[in-house]
Structure 1
Amino acid sequence: MSSSLPAMRALKQNCLGPVELLAQGIALISPTMTAALIIPVMYSNTGDWSWLSYALGTIMLLFVAFSLNQFASRSASSGSMYGYIRKGLGMSAGGIGGWSLIWAYIGISIAGATGFAIFAGKLLAMIGIPLPTVLLFAICVGISGYCAWKNVAVSAKVMLIFEGVSMVLIGLLCLIALKMHGFTVDPAQVNTAKIPFSSLGLGVVVAIFSLVGFESATAFGDEARNPLKSIPRAVWLSLVISGAFFVFVTYVMVQTTHGYKTTLDQIDAPLNVMAQLVHMPFLQAPLSACAMISFFALNLSCLNAGGRVIYSMGRQGLFHQSTAESHAKNETPHVAVLVMGAISFLAPAICILRGMAPLDVFNDAGTLAAFGFLVPYILIAIAAPVYLKSIGQMKPGHIALAAVSLVLLTIPTVGSVYPVPPAPVKYFPYLFLAYLIIGAAWITLRHRTIATNPRFAADMMGSRQDA
């Protein structure tokens, strides 16, 4: 790899408005994914008080969002939290944060492709046309990869439509279920004497892992209109909207499934069961279709966000110079998107061909991805006051905000490893740690090679900053 960076084309500027940025964040959080597959997992931990875990998880991550927005309101560039961490803590810490984000976005993209295959399989089974799971992976990643390669604005609109329609249909189902219960309060879910304090921490871990991805709008600083206002707004709005949706859907789902022959934690298609319980089984096919296209949008959002992290790191000389190029016509990071898409398809395809069940691939990919988000969240909390001090704008409240964020982030960090989960999940932290060590070694080696490169130094200052 040459240490001299080429003359690099920029991404298409001013093509994403506030709505498109918000769509990117919500699509990566993927509220439909949680409603379709994750709420039963939450119920297995915190039972009737599952809605509270989502409320607490949302509040916790708002502190991280506030730290993140200290950067987003002052500086915008491609590369998401990678660039922000670099500004506060230096090149090496930034590189580790970016390396970790790539792991996270790859993991969630795999979960998106797998979720698409699961629900596409359910739909095809309804009409008696089964297709191989690997072929469904190829369809999902192939189409989403084309959208990400072709036009980021179109990609954002596709995600907005798909996830929006899905959330509306799920919301209507919940309202119908509430009407059946006379819009009365469920006593079991507000009985404070039965709050599961011993397992509430695990519930918060699940909630936070459901909400990761809210920061993804920051990856589009080079392409956003009025980024210093639109990106911070998209960050906290995507978190608040998704968190409120989770609280509402969880509450209704728990209430609706009370007394059902199977407890919620044992139901693998809770939305379909809800449709049965409200005497509307005809909604099962539309709900499965909405889940399928929502998972497609999730995969697409990860290819977009992850591709821009790779692109930004490539511009710093950390990856092959081809990843730092944008397409001559489309002005998208086409090589970086291709890398993301290839891994997004090959990794789950290999797992399926080796005999893993799609749902196991989905669960493992999502769990592994969560570790990748925690590292940059922690680094952002540390970097924010350091950055503000460097530009003479730090106040005591910024230090307090960072301290609270770090304390709250210890909950999912510790909860991921203790109590020790069963195999294979108990090995996942060590797998991620090995990945981080490899990345740190590579980043250190590359920084020694390119530290004196004038074009690298110039690109370090290439963010869109306010006056």
Structure 2
Amino acid sequence: MTLNAQVPPGTAASTPPRRLAGTLGPAAIVFMVVAAAAPLTVIAGTVPLGIAAGNGPAFPASYIVCTVVLMFFAVGFTAMSRYIPGAGAFYTYVTEGIGRHAGLGTAFLALISYTAVQGAVYGYIGAAINDLVTSHGGPSVPWWLWALLSMAVVGVLGYRHINLSGRVLAVLLVCEVGIVLVIDAAVIGQGGGDTGMSTAMFQPSEFFSGAPGIALIFAIAGFIGFEATAVFRDEARDPERTIPRATYLALLVIGGFYALSSWAMVSAWGDEGAVELAGTNPEGMITETATEYVGSVAGDLVQILLITSLFAALLSFHNVLSRYMFSLGNSKALPRQCGLAHSKHESPHIASVVQTVTAAILVGVSALAGLDPVTEVFAWYAGVAAVGVVALMVLTSIAVLVYFRRTRADTRIWNTVIAPAIGLIGLLALLYMTIRNLPLLVGGSTTLAAIIGVILLATFAGGVAVAVMRPHAARIDTTTDNTLEKENI
């Protein structure tokens, strides 16, 4: 589904643009995706939890397993991308493959899932900034004030041209990845701890010990946002080549970086020592590792760069969400004003403002409810996102298989049947484990887990209801290029 309305001759000057523009190459898009994955945040927060609650020193192998599953998924995802131009990503795939009703249900599910991710990160960044300020003698202020300040900066950048966000994310990403790689090099260069470099991740028996299902849930959370390769299609320099390259490269970079860095973290303390430290001081594990192997300056840098990592994730998810709203505005599923592009910045400026307001409401409600920014805001909203995003990928996998089965647009058996089917099986297993372990992800409350499940199902059903009540929303015209939206109905 393209994002541009068909404009009658002679009216172009007076008609607001409905198409985004940019010259993003594979590297720039990978920056967006990897920044959304928040590498330092994952290493500092998720990895210790995966080690402590998952399969211990073998946890790094979980990233390899998830990378393999998602690479299979990406084969069909990128094969179908050339037939689905537009910035809706998962929901446009489901619309083409399964149908308009399921497509809008997927769109609404994506909106709530990525909004939940943003809410989680706003809680974390508010607490992280306050900790940094107070540790250097500054005053302690409520976490939500820092969150709203961060939100204002994200909102300004999101309003501007995408190339500005790309440059900001590139700088922040290089810094946070750089410090982690320095730590990795120091650990590997010194041969790890007293017991040497860990071999647990290479032993199947170790991988299946403990709770490998929980380990895989924490691991898959590190890949949230890689869908952005397709979301930025309209702003890519050469979409048909850029999007597939960016998708494969992003998955390999994310998976390889996490596997290497988590392996170095385990090796720094030894198998038993890593599990003990991850259980007793998960939030300080990366800082202690940096201080022990690089020096106290590195420990301070990690604390600062953790904040920039969180900010980069917020900016990237803001851009993804505003483009979802932009696409839905053009498809008439949301008010059409959301589908307007800024005449100067060529950005989804109205969708960006709406997204900022939505995030502010979420932070405000969390603050009024007195939720802890880390143990409740971050943990609970991340739990919502974990289930929602894996469900999105399952729906997209089904859509890919159905689409190529029905249209025969691509007859390559590997690209359209075998690889997507293997990816679907792997994702279904991940979804099952995520749902089964959701109570653990939200503090052990089965009641809260059930509420989250109801909210996600109700949101999907809400999208289906919009499709029923608005018959012209998100329809695809297959008479021209198979992708033009019926704007003149």
Using structure 1 for the length normalisation, give the TM-score.
0.90
Counterpart Cα distance in 1 of 2:275 and 2:291? 12
Q: Count how many residue pairs are aligned between Structure 1 and Structure 2.
A: 460
| Equivalent in 50, 61, 64 of residue 42 of structure 1 | 50
Contact 2:22/2:162, CA 8 A, preserved across alignment = no
Q: 2:445 corresponds to which residue? A: 424
Aligned pairs for 1:210-359 (under 5 A) are: 210-258=222-270, 259=273, 263-267=277-281, 268-278=283-293, 280-359=295-374
| Equivalent in 457, 460, 478 of residue 436 of structure 1 | 457
Q: 2:410 corresponds to which residue? A: 393
Counterpart Cα distance in 2 of 1:433 and 1:311? 27
Mean CA deviation greater in 126-135 or 240-249: 126-135
Q: 1:28 corresponds to which residue? A: 36
Q: Relative to structure 1, is the Cα distance of residues 340 and 265 closer, same or farther in structure 2, using a 3 angstrom cutoff?
A: farther
Counterpart Cα distance in 2 of 1:454 and 1:247? 42
Counterpart Cα distance in 2 of 1:287 and 1:139? 21
> Over residues 123-182 of structure 1, what are the superposed CA-to-partner deviations in whole Å (9 max), with x where a residue is unaligned?
212321133311110111110111011121110111121012100111101211222336
User: SS at 1:211's partner residue?
Assistant: coil
Residue 159 of structure 2 corresponds to residue 159 of structure 1: no
Q: Relative to structure 1, is the Cα distance of residues 458 and 355 closer, same or farther in structure 2, using a 3 angstrom cutoff?
A: farther
Contact 1:8/1:324, CA 8 A, preserved across alignment = no
Residue 379 of structure 2 corresponds to residue 379 of structure 1: no
Contact 2:85/2:483, CA 8 A, preserved across alignment = no
Counterpart Cα distance in 2 of 1:109 and 1:272? 24
Q: Relative to structure 1, is the Cα distance of residues 14 and 378 closer, same or farther in structure 2, using a 3 angstrom cutoff?
A: same
Residue 153 of structure 2 corresponds to residue 143 of structure 1: yes
- Partner amino acid for 2:308? I
| Equivalent in 359, 365, 373 of residue 381 of structure 2 | 365
Residue 96 of structure 2 corresponds to residue 87 of structure 1: yes
Aligned pairs for 1:68-147 (under 5 A) are: 68-130=77-139, 131-147=141-157
Contact 2:108/2:462, CA 8 A, preserved across alignment = no
Q: Relative to structure 1, is the Cα distance of residues 242 and 387 closer, same or farther in structure 2, using a 3 angstrom cutoff?
A: same
Aligned pairs for 1:394-409 (under 5 A) are: 394-397=411-414, 398-409=416-427
| Equivalent in 12, 22, 28 of residue 20 of structure 2 | 12
Contact 1:84/1:94, CA 8 A, preserved across alignment = yes
Q: Aligned-pair distance for 1:53? A: 1.1
Q: Relative to structure 1, is the Cα distance of residues 192 and 453 closer, same or farther in structure 2, using a 3 angstrom cutoff?
A: closer
Counterpart Cα distance in 2 of 1:453 and 1:67? 22
Counterpart Cα distance in 1 of 2:265 and 2:429? 26
Q: Aligned-pair distance for 1:449? A: 3.0
Q: Aligned-pair distance for 1:118? A: 2.8
Q: Relative to structure 1, is the Cα distance of residues 10 and 146 closer, same or farther in structure 2, using a 3 angstrom cutoff?
A: same
Contact 1:109/1:300, CA 8 A, preserved across alignment = no
Q: 1:413 corresponds to which residue? A: 431
Q: Aligned-pair distance for 1:375? A: 2.3
Unaligned 5+ runs, structure 1:
none
> Over residues 53-107 of structure 1, what are the superposed CA-to-partner deviations in whole Å (9 max), with x where a residue is unaligned?
1111111111111121112244421222222221222211211221111112112
Q: Aligned-pair distance for 1:8? A: 5.1
Contact 2:32/2:316, CA 8 A, preserved across alignment = yes
> Over residues 196-221 of structure 1, what are the superposed CA-to-partner deviations in whole Å (9 max), with x where a residue is unaligned?
34522221122112212111121111
Aligned Cα RMSD in Å?
2.8
Counterpart Cα distance in 1 of 2:269 and 2:319? 37
- Partner amino acid for 2:133? L
Counterpart Cα distance in 1 of 2:133 and 2:418? 53
Q: 2:10 corresponds to which residue? A: none
Contact 2:83/2:483, CA 8 A, preserved across alignment = no
Q: Aligned-pair distance for 1:241? A: 0.3
Counterpart Cα distance in 1 of 2:266 and 2:368? 36
Counterpart Cα distance in 2 of 1:105 and 1:336? 14
> Over residues 201-246 of structure 1, what are the superposed CA-to-partner deviations in whole Å (9 max), with x where a residue is unaligned?
2211221122121111211111111011111111121111011111
- Partner amino acid for 1:396? I
Contact 2:476/2:484, CA 8 A, preserved across alignment = no
Using structure 2 for the length normalisation, give the TM-score.
0.86
Contact 2:186/2:294, CA 8 A, preserved across alignment = no
Counterpart Cα distance in 1 of 2:191 and 2:256? 21
> What's the % identity of the aligned pairs?
20
- Partner amino acid for 1:285? D
- Partner amino acid for 1:22? V
Counterpart Cα distance in 1 of 2:22 and 2:63? 34
Q: Relative to structure 1, is the Cα distance of residues 220 and 425 closer, same or farther in structure 2, using a 3 angstrom cutoff?
A: farther
Contact 1:123/1:285, CA 8 A, preserved across alignment = no
Q: Relative to structure 1, is the Cα distance of residues 279 and 437 closer, same or farther in structure 2, using a 3 angstrom cutoff?
A: closer
- Partner amino acid for 1:374? V
Q: Aligned-pair distance for 1:39? A: 0.5
Counterpart Cα distance in 2 of 1:454 and 1:95? 10
Counterpart Cα distance in 2 of 1:332 and 1:211? 25
Mean CA deviation greater in 383-392 or 286-295: 383-392
Counterpart Cα distance in 2 of 1:345 and 1:294? 20
Q: Relative to structure 1, is the Cα distance of residues 344 and 88 closer, same or farther in structure 2, using a 3 angstrom cutoff?
A: same
Contact 1:5/1:456, CA 8 A, preserved across alignment = no
